[in-house]
Every structure is written in structure tokens, then in C-alpha cells.
Structure 1
């Protein structure tokens, strides 16, 4: 631990922490109103909707302009990086190295099964509900309020603070990739799109599109909203004349399978829907993919008469049998980054069958080429094909490095706890932005988390069980946790400013 400086809070830092706490409380209602306005923007990035100056579509451009206008109204200088990202600068000093606070304003599509309207956010009992509240507009707004607080409290740094908001983190990170290639970058950046204490490793990200040949029934299979979200529903259609046959077949299923199925009339036909449980593809615990639920029911009920439909259902049921790649034959695990995860996030009708889009997060120990070869062999055996959408290698920083240990001990000092650096399957801009690390501001939702002795694993009692996660229905953020993250950053940034000056936080 010889690398550790400032392991505890100094008297000055204790006073600063109290000032930051009081400042946030004084601006809390304004913060909530800003967050509600940001979340109300359905800023779903889609490169297929690109326009000149709007590479991710009009929805992202609209939230960019809203946030830029708000920052300018607060007196900050701003910059729009050709529609890929925006920057907000704490001051107008020239030639001063920067510390970046990097986040994103795009969101995943809402999906199904929301109890509340996803883009009509509201605050209740200290929670804000709405798509993007947690991932990642709440944390992004913390960044802006940090700039305000530092200015109001007269906190000066040798480095200039600069916020960077991307517009395509959820669809492959071409936002910050573009900036890294075409713009100027901060000397060092904190990625404010993760959890505390400090993230030192992320699994690789492999996104594939499988073309699965199918017969007349499964050619109409539809499921999901994004490959990085677990589908909450999957559906296909039968001719209305088959109602008696389909109903009788479904009646032979066990109670558990019947409970997740709904057969309804829709647009002159019958629509069979399976309901699963959505969530983030990187964190599949507690989720249930609706695609294998539907296909397993069809197989068990004997409703797949066409040989191509039968082969397709058997293949996909095997590939998606579990979220760890065991059924698919690609399971892998290591101590640093944990288990491989596999999510079938989208099923889309395609010529001669359907496309199944996979989101695979693979550990350091796995080989991407071998994963692709294994899945390609399985798909080609049915006459299908595989194409690679994206492949991002795992990232890893030595968890005993001075930088990681400095951040860890700073968090522990503020939170009055003892913690360990963590790895995750979730991907952040740390993958594509040089000299950056993911540090907060989220807290684990598993039971037992505390900050200064107070519980952080809070959830609203007015949303349904299983709801509330990022990428899931009724996404929420805890306002008190955002305030806690604000306080941690308020102590960390002056320390990081000194570490960079003293050479204690080098390249990562």
C-alpha cells in the first residue's frame, strides 16, 4: 500500500464534504426537475435513422440540444462534436489539461410490461421512474451539477473539468470512438456510467446476427427491443382457423408453461405470446428470456409440423437454454472477469427464416474466434449463417495499480466502508476512451450495501417485483444514491487533480 496517499479524509476534505452535502440539498428540487426533463426525451440511438449532423437519429439530437441549452443557461461553454457527442466545459481557460467526466444520454428502447409510461417520468418517495433514469441520465446529471457546485463553492483545480456526453453507448459506442479519432481528449477521464467502488476489468463484447432458416410459422417470430436487453416477450402468429388445434395443444402443457403464455386474436389471426422477465444482458441473474419460453412450449405442445420450423426451434432452444452459454457449448469462466453470458436479445423476421441477434460477454480466458467458430458450426448445420456485428476485446487494469488503489481508498474513506475493486460484464466507454477508468456512481442493488452505515439497496415498493432494473421495465434511480455519488466525486476530483500533477495516476 506504499502507493496510497490521502487514505483518510483531511480536515479540509471533511469541511468540503459538508459543503457539498448542503449544496446538493439546496439544489435537490432543481436537480429532480432537470432529471425529469432529461428522462422525458426518448433518446433511443439508431444509426439507421442518421441524418446530416445527426448520426444517431433525431431523438438523440433532441436530447443533446436540450442539455446543451441547459448548460449554456447555467453559464458554461459547450461544444457539439458533429452530433456524435457533446462537451460542457467548467471554465474558459486555454491550454489547460482536462479531467473528463464521461457519460451518455442515449437509452435502450423501453420494451414491454411497464407498469408506468417509460417516457413520462415522475418522482415519488425519493425515486425517479423512467427509461434512462438509472442508465444513464441520473448519473449524467450528477456530472453537470458537480460543475455547478465547484463553481459556486469556489473549488479550483489545476486541470479543467470537462463533461463529455455520448449519444450511442447502448449501440456500440461509435460516439466516443468518433471523438477519440477526430477530437481532442482529456488528459484523464472518469467514466460515470458504472458502479462503486472502482471497475478494473470488463468482459469482451461479441455481438452476432444468426440467420436461422425456418418454416412458415417461425418465419414470423418476433422478440426483443435490443440485443443487450433480455426480451420480456416473444410472439408469433397462427391462422385463426387453427384456434381449436392450438388451444388443445397448449392445454397439454404443464401449469408452469401455460402460465407464461397468452393466446389472443390480433389482426385477423391468432397471436401466441410468451412473457419473460427483462433486464440487462450483462447481468442476467433474475431474468427470463421469453424466446426459449415460447419455443420450448411449441416443442412440448407438438405445434411445429414443418421440419424447418422444428430444426430452428430445437437449435435456438439449445443456444438459449441458459444465460451462461452452457447449452450453446461455449461456457467459459475465469477468476478476474467471471462467467461468460449469452443473451438472445432480438428475433426479427428475415427472408427464409428469422435473424437471432446475440449479445455475448466473454471473460479474459475465452477466445472470441473460437466462440464464433463454435456457433457458426451449429448454425450452418441447419443451413443458416452467422455475421459479426461487433467484437470488442476485454479490458483489464491491474487492480493493485496505484490508480485503482487510490480510487478505492478514496471511495472507502468517503463511504466509511471497506470494499474491493470489481470486474463486470457491462461495457462502458472505458473500452474506447484512452486514459479512462469506470468509477461509480451506482451502488449494488444486492442486499447489504451500505454508505456511511446507511443502506443503499433501496427499491420502490410501488413497482412490481422483478421490475426496476436498467434495461428492464419501470427502471428507477435512487435520488439519495445519486447524492452519495455526487459527494464521492466531490472529494475524488481534487485528489485526482493532485495525483495527475504528482505522476501518481499515469496511463491506463
Structure 2
């Protein structure tokens, strides 16, 4: 792509002039605790998600955009009215729960040392406002495109993507879509996703177990309560003794389930400690060992599903939600399958594992991988834009993270992050799904420019 220096100068000046406006709009979304909870408080995804869609509509409408909010599930912001194939931009305004160990307030935008901090700044409210500002620029400078653009703000991306499924039932899906929920340059493939639960009944010696809030977030805390008094001398484990019972508390590092190397699963640490106990019940001891086997490694080894391929690497599998009910342990997994591997083949292997170990298995949901070949003209275009803006050589990549791309027929992840971007905090903090989530403001502002250039470029080649 050839770049117009005069256009770029205008874009850069406009972004600088509107930086404070951008921060104000972003702050108004960060203030809303938009954790998606289905049918809570009389709203489809809970009051927080209702409120954030209303606020986003208010912001977009103030800039003169036509907005639609069907069934309180998502917001559509439209630019252009030609009958040609649509270009889509897909962002989400729901966030994962804040968890613990924040230094800064999670629901107040903090600006420090060039970073913005708050739940959702990186995933995905910062990019959502950047997408809107890209359309603002086009509108305010009367730049007409041959193809209409539709900006989608979802409210259930973190909890199964029911929002985009509802959208697809009622709307023509864009011919091509950008999903700014990744890193630059271009994510051209996403692993498949499986969410399943393994369960097993145990003796009355177990009184309770609990960990995790949402399935794609690795928990930093897990707990189990057992009858009797046990002494456990293990790393990341504390014990409390209440009424002749032992409350075992396990600690780890929170993170995104798709990137296990960035976290330390508290569920793994809990079952490791439990597997070392002698409860006097051979069957219970065996059950603890089996569950530890399931979570002891992050790449499916314990389940017999350690699979990889050349385009996307290893399968990942993280047990993230632990519950106990009716004398039964329930452990739910977020598993990401390589782009060339069928969901059915992995499903069959897990069934075999469950049957062999006397466990029940329930596959709650699955989605197929997303993959676009590297020789695609749009992959090349977006990569050239990213290289031009960030002044570095890039290679398109695949990932385990799941975005709206996997729900769309032709979509690519495009920013706003950089894999080697600095982090204001120590390991285990600062990234999406972690405490003190942060991102450089300069990256979000660069994302506005990238989106403007991408829309102009895509409009010419589709």
C-alpha cells in the first residue's frame, strides 16, 4: 500500500486534537462494571452490560451516528449507506470480573507514565472507542467509502458470544471484518475452542470446593474444605481450621486461559496439595490425583490431548472453574485446539479419558477454528499498515485466544496491542484478564490511525 503523507499528517493532527476527548469517552465506559451475567436484574446480560451499551450509544449518537441496540444484546453504529458489500469492525464492551490485588481502582480510568489503567482498557473498551474515532474521522472529513461500515459493540464476548450469534440471526454479516482485540500486525488464525466439564462423585469427607468466575480466566485463588484436620506444607497453600474442618486455600497468578505461560493456575496448586494428602479414603485419594493429573500441565498432557500443528502450535487446556455440589466435584475447562485439528477428534479423546477414570463428561460448547491464508491480499494490506505505523517488521501470526473472528466468515484480528509492548507492572499483572490491566495510550491512539487507513485500503480492494 502506498501511503499519502498529507493524509497521514491530517490524521495525526486530528488524533492529537481529540486525545482528551478520547480519554473522556473511554473513562465513561471504564466506570461501568460491565461483567456479562445472563438475565441478571431483568437485563439480558445484566445491568452493567445494559448500562455500557446505553452509554456507548449516547457517545456515538453525540457524534451524529445512526445507532441501533436490538434486544439489549449489542450496539450497531453505521457509517455510509451504499448497497455494496459491508465492512465490519467488531469490538466488545463486556469485561471479565476484576478479581483481586489491584493497586489502582479497576473501574476508574487512571493515567500514569503514558499508560491507561482500568478493567477493559486493553480488552476491549480502549479499542472500541478507537474504532468509533476512526469512523468519526471519516465522517468529519467527509471521506466517502464505496462500502458501508458497520461497527459492532458486543456485550457477551467473554461469556460465550451469544451477542454475535443474535446479530447473525438478524443481520447480513459483513463481507470482511476487522476485530481489534489482538496484537498487531495481523492475527490470521485462531484455535478452535471447547468448554467442557469433568465431574466425579466423592465421599462426604469433602464439604466444599470453589474457584474461578468465568471460564476463560485462570483463577488466582482456589479453596477446598475437608472434614478433619490436615497439615499441608506446600508452596502457595494456606490452611485454616474451623470446627474440626480444614479450609485449604491455594494461590496462583490470574491470566487468560488461552495463554497459560502467563499465569499460575490456583486450581492446579490446590489439587497438587490435595493429591499429597492421605485422607484414609483410597477412592478419595485417587480422585484427587486424577483431578490433579487433569490440570497438572497446560497443554492437555494429563487428558491425553497433547496435540499440535505447524500453523498454530500446541493445544492448550486449563481447568478454571471449580464447584462442589451434592457430593460431586465439577471442574470446567477452557481448551483451545490447533487450527488444523477437528473438534470431534479431541472430543473423542476426552470421552475416553473420562470413561477410563470413572468421570462424567459434558461438552457445553465448542467453536471451530478461524484461519485465513497468508497470501490473502487483505492480510498483506493490514500487515503493511501495521509495519508503516509502528516502524518495525512484522509477521502475521495465529493464536489461542478466541475473538469474534471465529464467529465470522472472513475476519482478521488487527491490533491494538504489540507482543513486545512494555508493561507498567510485574509479571502476573497488567495484561488483559489480570489485575491493574493497562496499555500504552500511544498504542490506542495509533489504533485509530491504523483503523482509518485500513478502512480506506480495504474499501479499494474488496
Map 1:418-497 → 2, pairs under 5 A? 418-444=393-419, 446=420, 457-460=421-424, 463-497=425-459
> Are the structure 2 counterparts of residues 264 and 64 from structure 1 closer, same or farther at C-alpha, using a change threshold of 3 Å?
same
Indicate whether 1:222 and 2:210 are aligned: yes
> Are the structure 2 counterparts of residues 374 and 94 from structure 1 closer, same or farther at C-alpha, using a change threshold of 3 Å?
closer
- Are the counterparts in 1 of residues 378 and 458 from structure 2 also a CA contact under 8 Å? no
Number of equivalenced pairs: 462
2:97 aligned partner: 109
> What's the secondary structure of 1:47's corresponding residue?
coil
> What's the secondary structure of 1:285's corresponding residue?
helix
- Are the counterparts in 1 of residues 199 and 359 from structure 2 also a CA contact under 8 Å? yes
> Are the structure 2 counterparts of residues 55 and 48 from structure 1 closer, same or farther at C-alpha, using a change threshold of 3 Å?
closer
- Post-superposition shift, 1:268? 9.8
> Are the structure 2 counterparts of residues 393 and 496 from structure 1 closer, same or farther at C-alpha, using a change threshold of 3 Å?
same
- Post-superposition shift, 1:361? 0.2
* Alignment counterpart, residue 79 of structure 1, candidates 58, 61, 68: 68
Map 1:25-424 → 2, pairs under 5 A? 25-49=16-40, 51=42, 54-91=43-80, 93=81, 95=83, 97-238=85-226, 242=228, 245-246=229-230, 249-250=231-232, 253=233, 257-258=234-235, 260-264=236-240, 270-300=246-276, 302-424=277-399
- In 2, Cα distance between the equivalents of 1:155 and 1:267? 71
> Are the structure 2 counterparts of residues 65 and 230 from structure 1 closer, same or farther at C-alpha, using a change threshold of 3 Å?
same
- In 1, Cα distance between the equivalents of 2:452 and 2:242? 54
1:504 aligned partner: none
- In 2, Cα distance between the equivalents of 1:62 and 1:475? 21
RMSD over equivalenced CA pairs, Å:
2.2
- Are the counterparts in 2 of residues 104 and 136 from structure 1 also a CA contact under 8 Å? yes
Which ranges of structure 1 fall in alignment gaps of 5 or more residues?
1-5, 447-456, 501-508
- Are the counterparts in 2 of residues 76 and 88 from structure 1 also a CA contact under 8 Å? yes
* Alignment counterpart, residue 16 of structure 1, candidates 7, 13, 16: 7
- In 1, Cα distance between the equivalents of 2:121 and 2:226? 38
- Post-superposition shift, 1:187? 3.6
* 1:290-345 CA distance string (max 9 Å, x none): 11211212332x25333443232111110111111112221011110111000101
> Are the structure 2 counterparts of residues 34 and 202 from structure 1 closer, same or farther at C-alpha, using a change threshold of 3 Å?
same
> What's the secondary structure of 1:480's corresponding residue?
helix
> What's the secondary structure of 1:373's corresponding residue?
helix
> What's the secondary structure of 2:270's corresponding residue?
helix
> Are the structure 2 counterparts of residues 489 and 332 from structure 1 closer, same or farther at C-alpha, using a change threshold of 3 Å?
same
> What's the secondary structure of 2:431's corresponding residue?
coil
- In 1, Cα distance between the equivalents of 2:30 and 2:450? 24
- Post-superposition shift, 1:195? 1.7
- In 2, Cα distance between the equivalents of 1:87 and 1:401? 28
1:454 aligned partner: none
* 1:376-433 CA distance string (max 9 Å, x none): 3333344321111111111211111222122222322333322111100011111112
Q: Single out whichever of 289-298 and 40-49 deviates more from structure 2.
A: 40-49
> Are the structure 2 counterparts of residues 291 and 279 from structure 1 closer, same or farther at C-alpha, using a change threshold of 3 Å?
same
1:452 aligned partner: none
> Are the structure 2 counterparts of residues 341 and 218 from structure 1 closer, same or farther at C-alpha, using a change threshold of 3 Å?
farther
- In 2, Cα distance between the equivalents of 1:151 and 1:202? 32
* 1:244-264 CA distance string (max 9 Å, x none): x43xx22xx3xxx33x12234
- In 1, Cα distance between the equivalents of 2:165 and 2:457? 28
> Are the structure 2 counterparts of residues 308 and 73 from structure 1 closer, same or farther at C-alpha, using a change threshold of 3 Å?
farther
- Post-superposition shift, 1:97? 4.4
- In 2, Cα distance between the equivalents of 1:438 and 1:303? 49
**TM-score calculated relative to the size of structure 2:** 0.94
> Are the structure 2 counterparts of residues 265 and 136 from structure 1 closer, same or farther at C-alpha, using a change threshold of 3 Å?
farther
- Post-superposition shift, 1:278? 1.0
> Are the structure 2 counterparts of residues 265 and 27 from structure 1 closer, same or farther at C-alpha, using a change threshold of 3 Å?
farther
- In 2, Cα distance between the equivalents of 1:119 and 1:231? 20
- In 2, Cα distance between the equivalents of 1:164 and 1:377? 40
- In 2, Cα distance between the equivalents of 1:269 and 1:319? 26
**TM-score calculated relative to the size of structure 1:** 0.86
- In 2, Cα distance between the equivalents of 1:493 and 1:476? 27
- In 1, Cα distance between the equivalents of 2:44 and 2:172? 19
- Are the counterparts in 2 of residues 218 and 354 from structure 1 also a CA contact under 8 Å? no
* 1:86-112 CA distance string (max 9 Å, x none): 111235x36454322111111112223
